[in-house]
Structure 1
């Protein structure tokens, strides 16, 4: 919460933050515009509790994003900004050759549901600006195919076994991986659907460190090497795991951000804190993105704007 005093809900347009897990985008919105997100959605109970503790004026929905009705959530208000940060793990190259989940990869489609809400039932209420944050590999978003055994050419199953000769494996049991022949096909369709709704679509890549954040994370590991024909094992490389507070700091969150407890007093374990920062948006580049596209929605007073200009100089 960027101000100690609550703001009156007198804005002509509201801000919706879907997939509001760690709270990075909502923090960036407050830092850029001086106002809170009006509606936030996440399925995780702890994530919603932490978000509520830090953004108490936001109306929270703890539900699957596809279960929230845009018409009911907006209650007749026009959307100035709709932001989406769908799960990136099943698009990221960090997943390597691990199986991918089609449903998780398709989460971004919920944005079309909100983007098209004014087409028929609620003219004038559709989002004026839509932003989406993800790994750059989402540009390769395409269909999935079953992984094949290199030796037999048969379908691989999720349990690591190979299908028997002539066996038909249900798709939910297949080891699915991206189809390189159709890389980017679904992404291009996604863009066309947004353009069909009247949006001009553009994207770029942003590096957190260029906007004042740092996402470097040290890891302790056993490293085995060979020196002059003999095996050596390095058991201590003088690095340590960062604490949750340090991780949030590297991600760009303010030191005042509440990470150890929820709005109802529940205490978060260190593993829960690390999990939620791992799902968060880095506020630095998000702040620059929001200011560049939505500065007309800012709620800063003249004195606050002058102070921001002095700090920036």
Structure 2
């Protein structure tokens, strides 16, 4: 009971709490969220924590801290009305003011250290016009007011944009992190352990391929009961060209003659633009709706014999909705109308007087292959969970009462979560003495 309290005041899926517990070696003390479903998932994985289901602006933290000293408070306010991912949609004023809840509680309980996480656009936080759009001339105005108010409470402040992949997570999620402290000690930033190329004595970024369930490759795009939309088929086609044909190091499945990549369900700004990534890389930012589809292309040597190779890069940012990556294999392309292609195992379509069919062959690393089938499926919540850096045993499909969560809820929790390793390294850097004491005790 002599230990300072540890509090997570925007405790959603539990990413921050998980990382803090990894660093401190003990459960966090208090977790706050207005959403009962979020609290249920958090309680399932953090049963020793006191959970508070209340509005973040209305909750009385003095009631729960009971005058005890607070060592660390983590705060990740909802970022959707600051994020560029909303495009030109009107912003929601009620969500944009959430950082002020951090100030309200800091003023009351004065934690030694406050760690914050948000999208990098938080630094442009300013007033909105009557249509709900940011006023360009006043961008950053509210952000500066918030930082000034926190400093007025006696806090030293610093912030940086950090990429999770640089610290060992298989995602390139980039976020703004802030450290406030009023205990007289220096603000410390954790040193990266990885980089994209694995140079300068650091490890190479972790590939998303390690998080994929390779026992499930989906199904052929040619035999689906519900055909894929043309945009998806076009993404697959462009992805095959970029990530298999023109890639110097395409990802091959181990012990299989197939190559895979991810396609991403975000709008392309140009017709020829490829939304996707190699599996040799970390996944990009995951949000609340699954934006990734796994594509696997089955190939066979056009001449000689061969067995194929393995794929090995991390996946890109994960979003909160499932199904943004797809699998591709060899097929016949139709050269007329809106046709995308057909299976080589079935009868050929109507033959006209001009050459309208072509057997797809590709050259990979100097050798010629035939594409024989293309398989596709969306990424699963469990894969997104691992891509976000959660432990394999972290429970996202049900709560402690036995109630099961729909896929959309699981994806949303992951997309809204903090990458655990980021909470871990920031806590270790700025609570190093407490971390040592906790582990020793």
Distance 2:90 2:170 in 1: 29
Contact kept in structure 1, 2:90 and 2:133, CA below 8 Å: yes
Contact kept in structure 2, 1:223 and 1:233, CA below 8 Å: no
Q: CA deviation at 1:285?
A: 1.7
Contact kept in structure 2, 1:222 and 1:233, CA below 8 Å: no
Q: CA deviation at 1:238?
A: 4.8
User: Who is 1:222 aligned against?
Assistant: 232
Q: Please state if 1:188 is matched with 2:144.
A: yes
User: Who is 2:6 aligned against?
Assistant: 15
User: Who is 1:282 aligned against?
Assistant: 419
User: Who is 1:47 aligned against?
Assistant: 38
CA offsets, 1:250-301, max 9 Å, x none? 0000001111111222111111111111111001122111111112222543
* 3-state SS of paired residue (1:265): coil
Q: Per residue, is there more strand in 1 or in 2?
A: 2
Q: Please state if 1:267 is matched with 2:404.
A: yes
CA offsets, 1:97-131, max 9 Å, x none? 011001101111011111111xxxxxxx4111011
User: Who is 2:299 aligned against?
Assistant: none
User: Who is 2:71 aligned against?
Assistant: 80
* 3-state SS of paired residue (1:203): strand
Identify unmatched segments of 5+ residues in structure 1. Answer: 1-9, 118-124, 147-174, 305-313
Change (3 A) 1:234 1:23: farther
CA offsets, 1:215-234, max 9 Å, x none? 3799x8525569xx977576
Contact kept in structure 1, 2:4 and 2:68, CA below 8 Å: yes
Identify unmatched segments of 5+ residues in structure 2. Answer: 173-207, 213-227, 235-270, 273-334, 342-372
Distance 1:237 1:88 in 2: 37
Change (3 A) 1:206 1:231: farther
TM-score w.r.t. structure 2 length? 0.55
Contact kept in structure 1, 2:389 and 2:420, CA below 8 Å: yes
Distance 1:16 1:281 in 2: 15
The number of residue pairs the alignment matches comes to: 257
Q: CA deviation at 1:47?
A: 1.0
Change (3 A) 1:222 1:37: same
Change (3 A) 1:265 1:197: same
Q: Please state if 1:132 is matched with 2:116.
A: yes
* 3-state SS of paired residue (1:195): helix
Bigger shift: 131-140 or 260-269?
A: 260-269
Contact kept in structure 2, 1:31 and 1:287, CA below 8 Å: yes
Counterpart pick for 2:439 among 298, 301, 308:
301
TM-score w.r.t. structure 1 length? 0.76
CA offsets, 1:67-102, max 9 Å, x none? 210110211111111111011111011111011001
Q: Specify the structure having the higher radius of gyration (Cα).
A: 2
Distance 1:19 1:102 in 2: 18
Distance 2:27 2:18 in 1: 8
Change (3 A) 1:112 1:301: closer
Distance 2:118 2:339 in 1: 37
Change (3 A) 1:234 1:300: farther
Change (3 A) 1:201 1:47: same
Please tell me the root mean square deviation across aligned C-alpha atoms, in Å: 2.5
Distance 1:140 1:183 in 2: 5
User: Who is 1:110 aligned against?
Assistant: 101
* 3-state SS of paired residue (1:72): helix
Distance 1:230 1:95 in 2: 37
Counterpart pick for 1:34 among 25, 46, 56:
25
CA offsets, 1:26-82, max 9 Å, x none? 000011111221111111111101100110111101111112101102111111111
Misfit runs of 4+, over 4 Å:
223-226, 229-239
